[in-house]
Amino acid sequence: MSSEAVRWLKRSFGVASTAGFVWLLACEVDLNALGRAFAGVSIPVVLLALGFLAAGYAVRIVRWWWMLRVLEPSLPLGACVWPLLASIAINNVLPLRAGDAFRVLGFRRQLRSPAVRVLGTLVIERILDLGVLVGFLFLGLLGLPDGSYPRDFVVAAASLAGAGIVAILVLPLLVPGRFWEHLPGRRFLAGRRWAEAVSRQGTLLAEALGVVRSPQRLLALLGLSILAWICEGAVFATVAAALQAGAAPLGPWFALATGTLATVLPSTPGYIGTFDYFAAQGLAAQGASPEVSAAFALIVHAVLWAPLTAAGLLYLLVRGVRPRHIMGGVSSDPNGGRAEAPPPSEKPPAAPRTSATTTIRAGAAGEARCER
């Protein structure tokens, strides 16, 4: 089966999944009651929720900067702002988590880091976030009456939490740098052209994952992760309070965990349907009515989706990045085609010798002059 057919199948399955969860959500609510629930949300409440959202993403940017600057101490905090926001925006509008790939490949020069190093920091991000979310999930489960959720669900959540904790502890040991450095010298790889490239990229990945080898740094990153999710959970809590949801105090935090963890399920871009259904179910399990739970999930989703998507896409539009650049998997140049020095640890291509000024036309990217 061709790669194009596989992508088509994935997108079709995502659309079907979204349609199914939207239908399940719609079947549980009365539209008139849903409209009344929406009317209970005021502009000041939305602005307060947006403030919590901004605070949470500010913490995420600092967390990512802390990881990158371990290996590139001169990296300024401002260099990490738009790569993170742009990747979130792309994930919200394009399939197959294109934003994550774009963050890895598209900002290497701005971040002064090779792609594999950036990839390593994303892996650490995901593991830290998974651990925090599963923690919120368990807090919510503790507040539920016995039998509210199937035993298999609780066992699966416990297994997920254990896997996340083990991954955080073992990750720096899985790919030690010395293993990759000595890889080309091994007898069965001697003389193979690709051995040096694998060794170089593996060493960079080991360096990135080694960021959490320091217990103090790991605790600091975990603390930032908890703070970031507390800020995002405050968005859920603010909307629930405005709707007078009638749920238990842990209800919005349980909805944060159920809705966010559900985004790993196949869906359309923006996690339409999967997030909404499971966030609504999380609040309803804590005592809210189906209509209020549905309104809660839709409002929270809009608050999380709209401002981040608008900000990220506006940045990409201003910088001249187009969807074909992102989906084509290119190393996009968000700097409008201006040449920059190559990132650390990546060897620049050898410059051709010329005896006169040569003008190279690079399509829509403009003209780049190569002088002697």
Q: What is the DSSP string of 162-222?
A: HHHHHHHHHHHHHS-HHHHHTGGGSGGGTT-HHHHHHHHHHHHHHHHHGGGGSHHHHHHHH
Sign of the torsion angle spanned by Cα atoms 292, 94, 98, 320 = negative
Which residue from 88, 93, 117, 94 is spatially nearest to 105, judged by alpha carbons? Answer: 117
Q: How far apart are CA 149 and CA 142, in angstroms?
A: 11
Q: How many CB atoms lie within 10 A of CB 150?
A: 9
pLDDT over 70 percentage in the chain = 73
In 3D space, the residue among 208, 251, 247 whose CA is nearest the CA of residue 72 turns out to be 208
Q: CA triplet 96, 99, 101: central angle to 5 degrees?
A: 80
* Distance from chain centroid for Cα 169: 21
**Highest-confidence segment of 179-183, 269-273, 326-330:** 269-273
Kind and range of the H or E run holding 361:
strand 358-361
How many CA atoms are closer than 13 Å to the CA of 114, on its beta-carbon side? Answer: 17
Distance of CA 124 to the CA centre of its chain: 11
Section 297-318 average pLDDT = 95
Q: Which residue has the higher pLDDT, 195 or 142?
A: 142
Q: Report pLDDT for 9.
A: 81
Average pLDDT, the chain: 81
pLDDT score for 308: 97
What is the phi/psi pair of residue 200, to 5°?
-65, -45
Distant-in-sequence, close-in-space partners of 117: CB < 8 Å, separation ≥ 6:
68, 71, 204, 205, 207, 208, 345
Q: CA distances (Å), 123 to each of 126, 130, 209, in order? A: 5, 11, 8
User: Sorting pLDDT into bands at 50, 70 and 90, what band is 186?
Assistant: low
Mean pLDDT in residue range 195-215:
80
- pLDDT exceeds cutoff 50 at 119: yes
pLDDT higher at 326 or 52: 52
pLDDT band at 253 (very low <50, low <70, confident <90, very high): very high
Mean pLDDT of 121-125: 94
Look at residues 251, 308, 306, 303 and name the one whose alpha carbon lies nearest to residue 280.
251
Q: Strand 367-370 relative to strand 358-361: parallel, antiparallel, unpaired?
A: antiparallel
**CA 16 remoteness from chain centre:** 23
How far apart, in whole angstroms, are the C-alpha atoms of residue 236 and residue 256?
7
In three-state secondary structure terms, 369 is: strand
Is the pLDDT assigned to residue 354 strictly greater than 50? no
What confidence tier does 131 reach under pLDDT thresholds 50, 70, 90?
confident
Which range among 141-145, 150-154, 296-300 shows the weakest confidence by mean pLDDT?
150-154
Q: Is 60 exceeded by the pLDDT of residue 183? A: no
- Give the closest residue to 123 by CA, choosing from 223, 182, 208: 208
The pLDDT assigned to 366 comes to 43
Neighbours of 288 (CB within 10 A): 26
370 DSSP β-pair partners: 358
Helices 151-174 and 115-142, interaxial angle, to 10°?
150
The rounded distance, in Å, linking the Cα atoms of 10 and 269 is 12
